Amino acid sequence: MTVSTQPSTDTSARAASAQLPQVQEPRNPGMALDLDWVRSVQANTSAIERRAATIGTRRSVKKEYQAAWLLRAITLIDLTTLAGDDTVGRVRRLCAKAANPVRHDLLAAMGVGPLTTGAVCVYHDMVETAVAALSGTGIPVAAVSTGFPAGLSPFPLRLAEIGESVKAGAKEIDIVISRRHVLTGNWQALYDEMQAFRAACGDAHVKAILATGELGTLRNVARASFVCMMAGADFIKTSTGKEGVNATLPVSLTMIRAIRDYHDATGFRIGYKPAGGISKAKDALVYMALMKDELGDRWLKPDLFRFGASSLLGDIERQLEHHVTGRYSAGYRHAMG
Amino acid sequence: MNIPEIFETMDYGPAPEDAGEALAWLDTHKRKFGQLIGGSFTKHARGFDSRNPATGKVLAKVGQASAKDVDAAVAAARKAQKSWAARSGHDRARVLYALARLIQKQSRLFAVLETLDNGKPIRESRDIDIPLVARHFYYHAGMAQLQEAELADREALGVCGQIIPWNFPLLMLAWKIAPAIAMGNTVVLKPAEYTSLTALLFADLCREAGVPKGVINIVTGDGRVGEMIVTHPDIDKIAFTGSTEVGRLIRRATAGSGKSLTLELGGKSPYIVFDDADIDSAVEGLVDAIWFNQGQVCCAGSRLLVQEGIAERFYDKLRARMNKLRLGDPLDKCIDVGAVVDPVQLRTITDLVAGAPGDVYQAEIEMPETGCFYPPTLITGLAQSDRLMQEEIFGPVLVGTTFRTPDEAVQLANNTRYGLAATVWSENVNLALDIAPKLAAGVVWINATNLFDAAAGFGGVRESGFGREGGWEGLLAYTKPRGTAKSLKPIAPTPAPKDGETPLLDRTAKLYIGGKQARPDGGYSRAVWGPKGTLQGHASLANRKDLRNAVEAAQAAKGWGKTTGHLRAQILYYIAENLSARQDEFAARISGLTGASRAKAEAEVSASIDRLFTYAAWADKYDGAAKGVPLRGIALAMHEPVGVIGLFCPDDAPLLGLVSTVAPAIAMGNRVVAVASEPYPLAATDFYQVLDTSDVPGGVVNILTGNHAELAPQLAGHLDVDAVWSFSSTDLSAAIEAEAAGNLKRTWVNYGHSRNWAGAEGKGRVFLQAATEVKTTWVPYGE
């Protein structure tokens, strides 16, 4: 997604080409499971925490830079609803917000054209509704899948679930891995599972949710990241949002360093999606600085970086209004999603 | 750039911190400063410009203190000292607490002013320097509070002259002033010429904190002012942080003056990366090690030692990381590397790197067009023999080489004259905890770097100086044992009588070197006569070659330092046992030499046995500490032996003096070269027979006899000796301290004062403290 000063007549086509990784980048074909590599991976927790703690103090974006960064953040959001009480009406409203995330007067004041969120993320049952609601916007629909969030339903059903969501029009599938494979060091099983999920996705691109809050150690997070990338994940993602601990900066640092090493070794760029707990504009800026400094600007685009978030957008809108007016904003001044 | 453009480039953009408040504070002083003496500022008379190194702009005029100013400051400190020390610890704690609080309340003003004056990034002054300053005052407020209960046997030194560097202006001020005033000293502090402004702001704060007049005096100026402080006759202690070169000058200038001295000097600290390390974290650690404060850090991890198998990959990652560093306006909140402190320093760095061998890589980043900036630099492929591997650069320049094995890493790490800090990266706890004690350094960080805290001692070994700052050990530098010193009368050898009596059978006392008796190289001996005109025997006159041999033997007995305290205790008990078996013989010897009554002589032997038991007891009980530092992890303060200690034994107690000094030294794992009592040397030569029968490994204790005055400069000047103690009745203090400057060995001399060897001052913790170095090993943990 690009923002132009001219109103675009062809947003949908350009948006579609920008958000889907398979269009921008050669898709990660995976590689043979390299257990030597996996087992040699180290992650020193206190050092990682120290680095993570200084990202926000070493980097700061102000004024028009901050506004531009926040606009970019919007294009990175997988606007998400994963609630038991989701209905067709609720999902349609969310999709409408995804297509028009910021008030038009604010965009005009900043001199930017229309923009959208990166995707909309729903459960399988809401895929068709979302696909229909987003028709013509170019915004892809992501479906959480494979027995989300615990991933403990029968394996054939998990595979079948992917197939159903793809058939329903989901362009992105957020699968959950079997945590027990990580916790028992059964990397082969994790690799095989991930490969099967990837195959079931076909052309839809696959995000591997590691559920990092349940993996026990950062070393496990790093090793699981490598195994999933080796098995062909297009994205690695922290959390379902349902674990006790979701996306954190230390976990993110661990995962994106794995992405960097995988890219150095294979030449393939894997995307990253922190999910759960990122609700403030300031947090989003810190994550973006982390991506920029550790991976580079290429990973600040929606085909390689997404926020899994539901309330982040609201805070960003308020900050943008503050930028435009110089006065602090209120939530009710912005349309709900 | 407008918003749509930035949306595409995703640049960081400027994020300047406002300097308005700091500049306004300078204006309240009309941008001209005098000296803080006796609680008020003198008028600015003459001085120099203090500039912002990032822009070259003049910030203020700082005064150049005159000799009169320094005299007045010392006089004010002297006048205030007694009543300040007489206040209760709680009273002093209140003042330190107020300083801590006020620093916190003015933290941003301090941070901005520090960055303006020094050029360090605002992130560092805001998040590291100033919080550590406040922490240091809090911590030492607590030390003042606890002093009466916990340090009852020690008292303040008096007036302290403190000279601090420009790299951490306010932090070094805090490290110096907080412990000094907490213990009841008063201070005359000189900030560095380049960076006096935060010290002057602190001076303003002192008045608000209720610091009594004269307790803190601040004089500004260049090295000449420092020299006035160092040589001032009414100052009791000098504390200096700065270059090894100046530290050496100070050591010489204060030699024999009786001033106590602590020096925190330069370094070329190794940064060791093993192949099982978390490499990304180790790369990131280097950002904190060598690109922290533009590398102008005495303990900067400036010498990268990386295991050969991962070296290329490590360098690649490091170069990529360097290219992500942001360098520029130090007041920008989005800057990693700021300005070098002064054009002079910039030139030094530039000259050192120019024409360096090896592979020089400089970060490919945007550089400001003006101001004192130097790019982050990595020089790989250097050999240990290259100058840049040996010399401190004090800039953002990292030099690197490789190693093959853990042993080789230690050898390379220790192949330096410095010994300030070291960093070890490994995920293997066995390896990391094995390497840390082997490194010649005062501070070791495991899987981290440049961690500091008021509770953890900081300071070096070798030519990185001596003394610790922080923790209980830091208070030793600002206190002394209570008691008044009595002067020690020189004791001359008994002159030969006209008609002497000779023994029935001649006995030969030799030198004792490396566990063997050795004839003196020079082939000279001296007849030793008793006061009753009886010839007691002949003592060898050791010369410099005997001394060299003894030091070599002591150095060869390195294994002693690695033995367990339990083993050393057993050997000390065994010495006592064997001495006890020959009690009568030793008593007769002492009587014969000194003319002491038989009862007194027997008492000296008994006291010697008792003393051996004391240090046998201590050998496995002088524990280190786990410090309560504010992080998930521990800082271990471990006592390590100093190394080889040269020792001039007391003349007055020929056996007890020898035992009282040798025993604590070897109990702590040191090896000694002891020069026996000069007038009464034969008790010591008898004693080597006791050592011989007590399982003391050869070389651990070496005993020489001879002329103290002649041997003192040789032993103190020997570059492979780590410490020299003198309790001789010949006043050797000036000669020893001056010669010790060569390798900055630790000294403990008596300045012509006596010590009651039979009493409490003849034993105890002061001896153990002198016989050990505190090494602080930081071990952050967490999985």
Nearest to A51 among B4, B5, B284 (CB): B284
pLDDT of the residue at A134: 98
Report the distance separating Cα B635 and Cα B643, nearest Å: 23
Q: Read off the amino acid at residue B147.
A: Q
Nearest to A111 among B3, B10, B780 (CB): B3
* Residue B612 near residue B689 (C-beta atoms within 8 A): no
Chain B residues whose CB is inside 8 A of the A50 CB are: 288, 448
| A60 contacts B783? CB cut-off 8 A | no
How distant, in Å, are the alpha carbons of B216, B332, B708 from that of B229? 14, 37, 31
Report the distance separating Cα A303 and Cα B517, nearest Å: 82
State mean pLDDT over A159-164.
98
* Residue B232 near residue B67 (C-beta atoms within 8 A): no
DSSP secondary structure string, B713-768?
HHHHH-TT--EEEE--SS--HHHHHHHHTTTT-EEEE-TTB---TTSGGGSSHHHH
With tokens 């070096």, the residue in question is B460
Q: Place A6 in a pLDDT band, splitting at 50, 70 and 90.
A: very low
**pLDDT at residue A22 greater than cutoff 90:** no
State mean pLDDT over B40-61.
96
B249–chain A nearest CA distance, Å: 40
Nearest CA in chain B to A222: B278
Q: What is the DSSP secondary structure assignment for residue B651, as one 8-state letter?
A: S
pLDDT of the residue at B506: 81
Report the distance separating Cα B413 and Cα B303, nearest Å: 8
Report the distance separating Cα A273 and Cα B278, nearest Å: 23
B193 vs B628, residue with greater confidence: B193
- Candidates B102, B84, B103, B99; CA nearest to B141 is B99
For the stretch A241-285, pLDDT in tens is 999 999 999 999 999 999 999 999 999 999 999 999 999 999 999
DSSP secondary structure string, B579-617?
HHHTHHHHHHHHHHHH---HHHHHHHHHHHHHHHHHHHH
Chain A residues whose CB is inside 8 A of the B782 CB are: 45-46, 49
B71 CB within 8 Å of a chain A CB: no
State pTM to two decimals.
0.96
Active site residue A167: no
Q: Read off the amino acid at residue A94.
A: L
How distant, in Å, are the alpha carbons of B148, B171, B572 from that of B617? 27, 40, 9
For the stretch B315-357, pLDDT in tens is 999 999 999 999 999 999 999 999 999 999 999 999 999 988 9
- Give the number of A-B residue pairs with CB atoms closer than 8 Å: 107
Report the distance separating Cα A210 and Cα A231, nearest Å: 13
Q: Is the peptide bond before A149 cis (omega within 30 degrees of 0)?
A: yes
With tokens 């070098």, the residue in question is B340
Residue spans of beta strands (DSSP E) within B276-420: 301-307, 359-362, 377-380, 397-403
Q: Where are the alpha helices (DSSP H) in B486-597?
A: 544-556, 565-581, 583-594
Cα A224 → chain centroid: 17
For the stretch B252-285, pLDDT in tens is 999 999 999 999 999 999 999 999 999 999 999 9
Report the distance separating Cα B205 and Cα B170, nearest Å: 13
Report the distance separating Cα A44 and Cα A32, nearest Å: 26
Report the distance separating Cα B6 and Cα A325, nearest Å: 20
For chain B positions 451-480, those within 8 Å of chain A (CB to CB) are none
Report the distance separating Cα B117 and Cα B542, nearest Å: 56
Residues whose CB falls within 8 Å of the CB of residue A196, separated by 6 or more in sequence, listed in order: A155, A159
Q: Which tokens hold the place of B111?
A: 């941070």
Q: Which tokens hold the place of A246?
A: 């979701």
For the stretch B388-429, pLDDT in tens is 999 999 999 999 999 999 999 999 999 999 999 999 999 999
Report the distance separating Cα A299 and Cα B597, nearest Å: 90
- Candidates B186, B224, B250, B191; CA nearest to B39 is B186
Type and span of the H or E element at A107? helix A104-110
Nearest CA in chain A to B333: A60
Q: Place A9 in a pLDDT band, splitting at 50, 70 and 90.
A: very low
Type and span of the H or E element at B74? helix B67-86
Residues whose CB falls within 8 Å of the CB of residue B128, separated by 6 or more in sequence, listed in order: none
Report the distance separating Cα B647 and Cα B724, nearest Å: 6
State mean pLDDT over B213-240.
98
* Residue B576 near residue B616 (C-beta atoms within 8 A): yes
Report the distance separating Cα A46 and Cα A64, nearest Å: 35
Query: Three-class SS of residue B66?
Result: coil
**pLDDT at residue A177 greater than cutoff 50:** yes
Cα B432 → chain centroid: 24
Active site residue A237: yes
Report the distance separating Cα B197 and Cα B36, nearest Å: 12
Query: Pairing between strand A172-176 and A141-144?
Result: parallel
* Residue A46 near residue B782 (C-beta atoms within 8 A): yes
Report the distance separating Cα B95 and Cα B242, nearest Å: 28
A62 CB within 8 Å of a chain B CB: yes
For chain B positions 556-615, those within 8 Å of chain A (CB to CB) are none
Q: What is the DSSP secondary structure assignment for residue B127, as one 8-state letter?
A: I
- Candidates A9, A120, A121, A68; CA nearest to B6 is A68
Main-chain phi, psi angles of A237, to 5 degrees: -130, 145
Report the distance separating Cα B228 and Cα B245, nearest Å: 17
Report the distance separating Cα A167 and Cα B172, nearest Å: 68
State mean pLDDT over B79-102.
98
Report the distance separating Cα B91 and Cα B113, nearest Å: 30
B371–chain A nearest CA distance, Å: 21
Mean pLDDT computed over every residue of chain B: 97
Report the distance separating Cα B683 and Cα B591, nearest Å: 10
pLDDT of the residue at A21: 65
For residue B569, list its beta bridge partners. Answer: none
pLDDT of the residue at B503: 78
| B447 contacts A47? CB cut-off 8 A | yes
Chain B residues whose CB is inside 8 A of the A3 CB are: 4, 7-8
State mean pLDDT over A188-201.
98
* Residue B764 near residue B430 (C-beta atoms within 8 A): no
For the stretch B355-368, pLDDT in tens is 889 999 999 999 99
Nearest to B781 among A46, A294, A297 (CB): A46
Type and span of the H or E element at B322? helix B311-322
Q: Collect contacts of B429-435 with beta carbons under 8 A, ≥24 apart.
A: B431/B274, B431/B276, B431/B406, B432/B779, B433/B779, B434/B406, B435/B272, B435/B406, B435/B409, B435/B410
Mean pLDDT computed over every residue of chain A: 94
Q: Which tokens hold the place of B379?
A: 């020089």
* Residue B537 near residue B528 (C-beta atoms within 8 A): yes
Tell me, what's the ipTM?
0.95
State mean pLDDT over A158-182.
98
Report the distance separating Cα A280 and Cα B493, nearest Å: 85
* Residue B584 near residue B598 (C-beta atoms within 8 A): no
With tokens 């941008």, the residue in question is B31
Report the distance separating Cα B647 and Cα B770, nearest Å: 12
Nearest CA in chain B to A219: B783
Report the distance separating Cα A71 and Cα A102, nearest Å: 9
pLDDT of the residue at A5: 40
Report the distance separating Cα B690 and Cα B683, nearest Å: 11
Report the distance separating Cα B527 and Cα B493, nearest Å: 10
How distant, in Å, are the alpha carbons of A292, A313, B322, B332, B373 from that of B6? 14, 20, 24, 18, 27
With tokens 């930081």, the residue in question is B778
